[in-house]
Each structure stands twice: as structure tokens, then as C-alpha cells.
Chains A and B, each alone.
Chain A
């Protein structure tokens, strides 16, 4: 009797730990059987590329989730960063290094602003970052009077812009290493590795998890909680601005309406990440797998001729399943 009970718990633990990865594997096998081209290198690369920008944003929002915060402004930070890069090059005629530096500073600045709103002004995180989101959505329209930015565009004062997108900037979004791996995928993987290492293996990451789990206890264990929280929002801001840079480099213009879906996709990836490995907490590996999970599902369904307008429904379903998995199964097992 005791043995079967023990075996059951063991099985449940394994199911919780690897359930989501097994599900991913099953889905991959299913699509491969239905559509052999799914397993091709080209298709795999396409999946990675399709989720790279989402994943970069999601990795940033993971940092804020770790300290029990939330960043709703990532989508608009990415969009603003894209507009800023385009504006810097097309209107001001700056080079790619300056444009990238400007975007990263913008991301850090917005992160700092969010952090100060939450920590100093004590605005609840969701509301603070919602405010920032709105602010940036409006702000990015002002310099161009609401127009998208492209080479030779008409300026609000009637003149025509003179600059253009730098070749080396576009390289970030369009070049493929060894003719197959896009640069954006490499950036996503490197960022995932860095954030994973930071959160799991450094003392700063450890303290961030401690703050997320019990803020008062962390403060009484000597952690400078406010500084860590601000840092988390800055990580989130800078990741979102990297996402914006990649987006600008991919489309080669500053498009006012792109980046609409980024926020929801990124947050979904980070939340799906809770379920991966059954840890029920934000983690970088889970976030990456969460983003890929959605990518695999969409690519497979597209290859099987599912209509594009069903995509958001599929994402939503995955998110709900993952959340139920995280909050009912995993929590129940902890009791």
C-alpha cells in the first residue's frame, strides 16, 4: 500500500516536472507525422525567428515577475525604441552604433522611471506600468506627428528627411549567420543564457527571488529591496528596447502600428514559463520554452492550413492550460 502511494507521488512529481516538456515533444512529433516538412531545418529556424523578439521581451518581464512585480510597458517600450532608432537614423542621420545606444538608454531610462514609480511613489506595479505604457504610446507619435518613419519621408514642417537606415543596423534584423541562423535568434539565445545565469547562479538573482517570495523577510535579512526592484524594471526596460531594435532592423522602417501584439505574447510566454519544469515561479528557461511552445504550435497549425486569425485563440488556450497546470496541480503537490 505504502509503496503504491509512494510510486504515485513519484509519478505525480515527474509529471509536474516534465509534463510540459513531454507535451511539447508530443506536439512536435504530431506535426512531423502530419507534415514531414515541419521537422526541416528551415522550418525550425523559422520557429526560432518568429519568437525571437517576443522571447527577448518575455525574458525582461521575467525579471520583474521574479521580484513579484509586473511590467505592462514592455510592448510600448519596444515600439518606442523602434521609432527612436528609425528617427535617429532617418531624420538625424545618426549611425547604427549611436542609434542602438540611444535605444538602450531609452529602455534603461523607462525602466528607471517605472522602478521609481513603484518604489518611491508607491504606485502599484500594474498601474504604474500601465501609465507608462500609455505615456509611451502617445510620446512616440509626437516627433513625426503620427506618421510612420521611412526613408525620404515628409516631415511635419514640409521638408523631406535625408537620412536612411544604416546597413549594419539592418544586418541585426536581416542577416543570417552561415546563411541560415538569423542574428536575432543568436541575440535571443545569448540574452536567455545571460538572464538564466543571472537569476539562477548569482547572488543578485537569489536575492531577487527572495524579494519576490517574501519582501519583508528579505528586507530584514539585509537586502536593499528598493534598489533590486528598480534594477528589475531596468532589466525589463532594456530587454524591451533590444526587442524594439530587432524589430526596427527587421522591418526597416519605423511603423507606428507594429509591436501591438508584443506585450500580450511576451507576458504569455513568461507565464507559460511558470509551468515548464513545474517550478511554479518565473524562470528564464521556462520563459524561453514558453515562447518556443507558442511558436511551434503556430508554425505547425499554419503548415496544416489553419487560418491566421485563429492564432490569438491558440495562444490564449495554451496560456490558460499552463496557468491551470501551474496554480492547481503544482500548488496542490506542494501541500
Chain B
């Protein structure tokens, strides 16, 4: 670590190591609240970050992380509460002002941080080009020289003349971070920076972040990834429903942090005890991602299985493999004892494997269609003779499904946009329940659904589960506990645990979700990757 690149940037006072000096709070938030309409997103957040410290902010989707970041970055204003930077009140009215004050952000989606058609050099100087510091005449030669200085200080080992669009994601990420660092920040916010990086690429990022810590930059690191958190965190703050639900100092208790973030409150689990029949679906030695461990599992007739794990651990990738959207790197599926290797969702549906994808607005709903036509879309062949549709039969079938799932609407000819989120989700579920399936995969079926609709959907899934195997993907532990007979835990793109809901060991489950049981594995895969290349 002593060879950290940023030690050499002594020219700038902020980047000088603060050896011996008492760490001071660079950023201090007190009682920050923010509402959007009736929706209270932040309900009194206190937070302080010192120079040379990495604070990890954990929170599930919708916990308020991005809102918090946007307030610090000057995108939103806080309703109440105060923010101080270096002890001075800090109320940036625009992102540009925040940057000038020394707050830099690297966003989750890498391509937001770079201009793909410009060269690496131009990207590094983008902020200065934009705010006009460079003057009217800015020759490429001069630009290159300045960019070279920046690149040398950051040990950025890239061809400065290459356009960014030719770089891979990790290198783009580096450019994006370097661009932020060229501003010599006091506070650097990294929003899930490793979400599209490989282990090795992430390792490189960690080294840089650790170098920054050593040189006295305060770092707010937002991530769900336990491997990142273990590696970097000096302190963990858990955010849930707009409140800080836990602050963890060293030695860090990771399970407790995950618990604070998910906040399931250990509710009494219902033991539904579904009838369990023969195996309908088997997965053997599936590898989802380079370097992740192979895993196998089976789904039996009549049971409901929940696959849980933090966001970005590979749940959706598995579902997409099962539905013919993509292929696993290796391994095989079996359906009813026969090899199952669907080339497209159409083939999967024909073979009786259905999937309701997550994020219904983008991946399930046809906004221009009414309820009936949304319901029948995958099964049009059975509603038509010689290609001609029978609308009466479609509407009839739609009315039955609306009735069964208690969809609140005027008629089956309502447009989907007229329905509430929960009712839209019911329509999506109803679509895949309207025809018999062998395997039903539901990716985040309770996303953005209120508690009543959630109960309705869960009940209906249970009622109809007899003849098929049901796999529910969810990042929320409560949901898994509420609906499933069996819980599979996924971490780092592999399955790390299996529990029966009836006799659940909550501590072990939380440990697996937080990744405690896979450290060894992970270390092995890192060294594999290193040897492999």
C-alpha cells in the first residue's frame, strides 16, 4: 500500500497525507429529511465522514441511498436538516457547485461518467473544458500535456489518444474515476462502482480507493456487495426506509449490518408444507459468471422455492438462463428428465417454463394494450383459429383471471396504465398463471406492490402450485419467508445455502446472504482468475 500512486501528488494540500493529525469530519449531515410528494424518502439522516475514512452505505432498493447522494451532490435540496463540509455549511445548488467545493461522485452506470466519442485525454479534462477554465483556444497538444500530468499522478496506464468507446467497462470506470480525482476532491462518493467489473478489475479499483484513503480523502462507498464491503469498510452505515438503522464500527459485524439493512424483524414463519412431488426441473453444475463456483439444484412438483440474496448476486441471470434469454457459461438443465436448452423465450414457453421478469414496466407490460390483450400475449395460438383471434374467448379468459386475482378494474378492456402498481403486477402474474406450466419463475414478483396485493399474489401462487414447480426470486428476506417452502441463498453468482422454511436457522441464513461462508471460495476464485490470465 505504501506505493500508492496518490502519495506523489503532494502538490495539492488536500491530497497530502494527514499523518498524525486528528481525523476531522469532512462531511457532516444532521437531521436531513426529504419528501417527494407524500412519499417520505429520507426521515432524519445523521451522518459524518472523516478524512481518510471509507464509510460504506448499505441499503436495499428504495431505502433512500440515491436520494441521499443526490442531496450531497447538489441535484436535490434537503427539506430540513443541515449539511456541513469541512465545518462550513454546505448547500450546493447544482452539481457543478458541489464539484467546485470538492465533492465528486462516480455514478453506478459507468457510461454516465464518460463521453464515449472523446479520447481518454479529453475525458480527463472534460470538467475543465466544460467550465471554461481552459480558455477559448485549447490545442490538442496542450490538452495532451495536461492529461498526461493527470494520468501520471494517478498511474493511469491507458493510451490517452484512444476514444473511450474502444475501452472495456473497467477501463472506462477508471477514466470516470480519474476524471473525478482530477478535481482533487475532499469527498469522493462511489455509487456501486464494482457492479459491472470483474473480480480482477474490482481489485484494481480497491487498490486505488485504498490509496485515496491513505492520502486523506473522505470516501462514501455505496454497495450491496459483501466482498467489496469486507475489503474496504472502516465503518458501515445501514439505511432502511429513509432512516439509519445501524452504524457499525470496527470490528465490523457484517451479519448484523445485513440484518439492519433488510430489517426483517424475524417474523413468525408460516409453515405451508406444500405437497412435494418428483423433480420437474434440475440444474447441474451451472456456472453463471467467469470465476464463480458451479452449483446445482432441483425443483420439485408442488413446492414453492425462494431464491434469495442481495441485489446483483446473479439471481436474474439464472432466471434468464432458465427462460432462454441467455446461456450459462457451463452446466446443463433438465426438464422432466430430458435435456432442456431453450434457444429463446418462445421455446421455453412452448416447453412449459414461464418467467415473469422483474421490473414490470420495462419487461412485462405492453402499455398500448388493455388487460385482456396483455394477459393473452404469450398464448395467442390457443386463442386463434388459422391465425384469426377470437376476442370473445380472450375477454372471457381475462375476466376469469381478473376475478381470481382480485384485480381492481372497471373491465378487462381497461388500459394497463389506468391500474395501480399492485394491480398491474397482478395482471403480470395472472398472465403466467392463466395457462398451466411445468416451471414458473417469478423475478421480484412483489416489487412495488403493497402488502394487500402481496398477500393476494402469494395466496394465489400457493393455491395453484400443485402441478408445477415454482421458483421465486427476491432480495427481500421477508418475502421469501412468507411464501416459500424452501429457501436457496445466492451469493457471488452461486448458490451457497439451502434452508427449509419450517426449521429455519436464521443466523446461518443471514451469514450466507452476507457472504461469510464464501470468503474462502471467493479468495480461491480471485487467485484462479489471477493465474488464469
Contact A216 B362 (CB under 8 A): yes
Residues of B within 8 A of A203 (CB): 380-381, 383-384, 387-389
Contact A220 B366 (CB under 8 A): no
Partner of B389, one of A201, A213, A281: A201
**How many Å lie between the Cα of A201 and that of B365 in the bound state?**
21
**How many Å lie between the Cα of A311 and that of B203 in the bound state?**
67
**How many Å lie between the Cα of A201 and that of B384 in the bound state?**
9
Residues of A within 8 A of B388 (CB): 201-203
Q: Write the nearest CB–CB distance from A317 to chain B, whole angstroms.
A: 28
Check: A214 CB closer than 8 A to any chain B CB. yes
Check: B363 CB closer than 8 A to any chain A CB. yes
**Surface stretch bound by A, among B146-154, B251-259, B292-300, B341-349:** B341-349
Check: A196 CB closer than 8 A to any chain B CB. no
Q: Evaluate whether A217 and B345 lie within 8 angstroms (CB atoms) in the complex, with A203-B389, A204-B387, A210-B377 already known.
A: no
Check: B325 CB closer than 8 A to any chain A CB. yes
Check: B132 CB closer than 8 A to any chain A CB. no
Contact B325 A220 (CB under 8 A): yes
Partner of A222, one of B345, B366, B369, B384: B345
Contact B368 A219 (CB under 8 A): no
Check: B378 CB closer than 8 A to any chain A CB. yes
Check: B177 CB closer than 8 A to any chain A CB. no
Residues of B within 8 A of A281 (CB): 368
Check: A206 CB closer than 8 A to any chain B CB. yes
Contact A217 B344 (CB under 8 A): no
Check: A209 CB closer than 8 A to any chain B CB. yes
Q: Write the nearest CB–CB distance from B63 to chain A, whole angstroms.
A: 27
Residues of A within 8 A of B346 (CB): 222-224
Task: Find the residue from A214, A221, A223, A334 having the highest chain B CB count within 10 A.
Answer: A221
List B354-386 residues whose CB lies under 8 Å from chain A: 355, 357, 362-369, 373, 377-378, 380-381, 383-384
Check: A148 CB closer than 8 A to any chain B CB. no
Check: A207 CB closer than 8 A to any chain B CB. yes
Q: Which residue of A lies closest to B381 (CB)?
A: A203
Q: Write the nearest CB–CB distance from B249 to chain A, whole angstroms.
A: 44
Check: B415 CB closer than 8 A to any chain A CB. yes
Interface mask (A178-208 → B, CB under 8 Å = 1, otherwise 0): 0000000000000000000000011110110
Q: Which residue of A lies closest to B360 (CB)?
A: A217
Partner of B363, one of A201, A210, A217: A217
Contact B325 A206 (CB under 8 A): no
Contact A220 B357 (CB under 8 A): yes
Contact A221 B377 (CB under 8 A): yes
Residues of A within 8 A of B364 (CB): 217, 220-221
Residues of A within 8 A of B325 (CB): 220
Contact B344 A216 (CB under 8 A): no
Contact B369 A209 (CB under 8 A): yes
Residues of A within 8 A of B348 (CB): 222
Check: B119 CB closer than 8 A to any chain A CB. no
Residues of A within 8 A of B350 (CB): 222
Check: A218 CB closer than 8 A to any chain B CB. yes
Check: B397 CB closer than 8 A to any chain A CB. no
Q: Evaluate whether A206 and B355 lie within 8 angstroms (CB atoms) in the complex, with A201-B389, A214-B365, A281-B368 already known.
A: no
Check: B525 CB closer than 8 A to any chain A CB. no
Q: Which residue of A lies closest to B415 (CB)?
A: A334
Contact B417 A334 (CB under 8 A): yes
Contact A213 B369 (CB under 8 A): yes
Q: Evaluate whether A222 and B362 lie within 8 angstroms (CB atoms) in the complex, with A201-B389, A203-B380, A203-B384 already known.
A: no
Can you list 28 A-B pairs, Cβ within 8 angstroms, ordered by A? A201-B389, A202-B388, A203-B381, A203-B387, A203-B388, A203-B389, A204-B387, A207-B377, A212-B368, A213-B366, A213-B367, A213-B368, A213-B369, A214-B365, A214-B366, A217-B364, A217-B366, A220-B325, A220-B357, A220-B364, A221-B345, A221-B431, A222-B346, A222-B350, A224-B344, A281-B368, A334-B415, A334-B417
Q: Lowest 6 A-B CB distances belong to which pairs?
A: A213-B368, A203-B380, A222-B346, A222-B349, A221-B378, A202-B387
